[in-house]
Amino acid sequence: MSAEAAAITFERAEGAQVREEDVVEVLRECYDPEIPVNIVDLGLVYDVKIQPERVDVKMTLTALGCPMAGEVMTDVRDHLLQLNGIKDAGVELTYEPPWSPERMSEDARWELGMV
């Protein structure tokens, strides 16, 4: 899978003040509790919709039925709410397409000793 295929899809509504870079920056502070790599570099974030005062994220987890799913989703939402001008945030969990290690960034592969 190419790096382009694992990239996050962004949709930004007119009038939204938050930039894509701002969202990526706060999402890089969220980690899978079992893997010492942030959710962006793991390739867990699929889509981001930025609206005035709201951000929605569609993401997955590394394993179906992960017992930490609720905690990860809460952490992501809490981080999104730290963005200036954001008053609400949503996190949708999906398993389509399923996550695979090919979605990881090169940095994540290095961190996990896969390169």
The residue ranges of every structural domain in the chain are: 9-111
Tell me the mean pLDDT in the region 80-105. Answer: 95
Average pLDDT in the 83-93 region?
97
- Residue 1 has a pLDDT of 36
Architecture of domain 9-111: 2-Layer Sandwich (3.30)
Q: For residue 59, is pLDDT > 90? A: yes
Please provide the average confidence, as pLDDT, over all residues in the chain. 92
The model carries a pTM of 0.91
Q: E strands, 1-115, where? A: 9-12, 45-51, 54-59, 88-93
**CA-CA distance, 41 to 97, in Å (whole number)?**
17
Say how far apart CA 36 and CA 57 lie, in whole Å: 21
Which of these ranges, 31-35, 44-48, 73-77, 101-105, has the smallest mean pLDDT? 31-35
- Closest CA relative to residue 80, chosen from 45, 54, 47: 54
